[in-house]
Structure 1
Amino acid sequence: MPQTAQDGTAEDTAATPPKAATTAEDQLVREGDIAGDYLERLLDVLDFDGDIDLDVEAGRAIVSIDGGDDLNKLVGDRGAVLEALQELTRLAVQQESGNRSRLMLDIAGWRQGRRDELTELGTRTANEVLESGESARLRPMTPFERKVVHDAVARVKGVSSESEGEEPRRQVVVFRNG
């Protein structure tokens, strides 16, 4: 129903545009801010030093912690502690924002180093499969690790890859096309 404006004329509220919705990038920046605050409090409780860097890349908030002497303890064996901290941080973001988060956490550059190793593994395996014609099954990996390997395999013509099995034993299988 039209409302009466202060000057006595009718005004159609339906024609008034709503406030601009928050952009996807703004939401990701907010996720990063929430995660950064959460991780800063965690580092304080643990009495660890570290610089927190926030970024948005490929539709995902990226939070990195660097610069502290004890940070490798927060990575753990094969990134197990890092994965757990990432999930806790995602839950903290969801709790405050009400939205499920896909943020990625890196500590002491471990994830970037791991990405480089996995890219090399995926490329090397794809080339071996191309040469031998025999499929190759890699050891079980996390979703992050599998994605990096799939991306590397996809850049080699003549081979493909797929994930098989159930978590946490899901594996990448690389095979020759055709």
Structure 2
Amino acid sequence: MTLTPETPDVTDEQLEQEGDIAADYLEELLDIADIDGDLALDVRAGRAYVSVEADDSGSLSRLSHPDTVQALQELTRLAVQNRTGRFSRLILDIGGSREQRQRELERLVDLAIERLDEGASQASLPPMSSYERKLVHDVASARGFVSESYGEGADRHTVISRA
């Protein structure tokens, strides 16, 4: 079986299995790093979501940086794929990092809209993951603008223009 993003939709039961595997992997990683954290699992919109939270937000501060979360998410996805043989679209949140990134993406869209208001015909955003591009598309649409993704691989980015 080839592991690609085009792998057919998986069932909620399979997504719950992904979440359980991811949680086991992350618990082990947190134990090795001697970091306290509680894990929460959720399944929504065809993805497994795993959140790591702590009463003391300082204990997760080293892990909640966006680049670190992205790297840990990729490692966790690989662990899940290794166990299930299926491509995983699992989303990892550490200490509210996804909410923080959502706000950053909203600010990027607002800055792009300002450039459009100043006369630009379109505004390009930096390359980002497919999940983040989806969030940008949603924000742009909610603000009445059109967005499209361009480029390949790590250079894939979003361009925003007027509707």
**Could you tell me the TM-score, scaled by structure 1's length?**
0.75
Q: Distance in 2 between matches of 1:117 and 1:59?
A: 24
Distance 1:164 1:110 in 2: 26
8 Å contact kept, 2:47–2:90: yes
Q: Please say which structure displays the higher CA radius of gyration.
A: 1
Q: How big is the shift at 1:171?
A: 2.4
Tell me what 2:149 maps to. 163
Question: Are 1:134 and 2:134 matched, yes or no?
Answer: no
Cα distance in structure 2, aligned partners of 1:48 and 1:61: 23
* CA deviation after TM superposition for structure 1 residue 113, in Å: 1.6
- For residue 108 of structure 1, the aligned residue among 95, 99, 109 is 95
Tell me by how many angstroms 1:153 deviates: 1.0
Q: Indicate the residue corresponding to 2:75 in structure 1.
A: 88
Q: Is the 8 A contact 1:123 1:152 kept in 2?
A: no
Residues 1:73 and 2:44 are matched in the alignment: no
Superposition deviation, residue 160 in structure 1 = 1.1
Instruction: For 2:78 and 2:118, locate their aligned partners in 1 and report how far apart those are by CA, in whole Å.
Output: 45
2:14 to 23, 27, 34: 27
Tell me which moved more, 144-153 or 114-123. Answer: 114-123
- Aligned-CA RMSD value: 2.1
Aligned mates of 2:127, 2:77 — CA distance in 1: 23
Q: How many residues are treated as equivalent by the alignment?
A: 152
In 1, Cα distance between equivalents of 2:13 and 2:115: 44
- Scaled by the length of structure 2, the TM-score of the pair is 0.81
Q: For residues 57-108 of structure 1, give each alpha carbon's deviation from its aligned partner in whole angstroms, at most 9, with x where no partner exists.
A: 11110000010533121133xx111111111111111111222111100000
3-state secondary structure, aligned to 1:132? coil
- Whole-angstrom CA distance in 1 between matches of 2:120 and 2:62: 41
Equivalent pairs: percent with the same residue?
47
* Counterpart for residue 15 of structure 1: none
Q: Check the 8 A contact 2:112/2:124 in 1, yes or no.
A: no
Partners of 2:140 and 2:46 in 1: how far apart?
Answer: 22
**CA shift digits 1:94-126 (9 cap, x unpaired):** 111222111100000011121133134325634
Counterpart Cα distance in 1 of 2:82 and 2:47 = 18
Distance 1:130 1:58, change over 3 A: farther
Higher relative contact order (CA 8 A, sep 6+): 2
Q: Tell me the distance in 1 between the aligned counterparts of 2:146 and 2:33.
A: 44
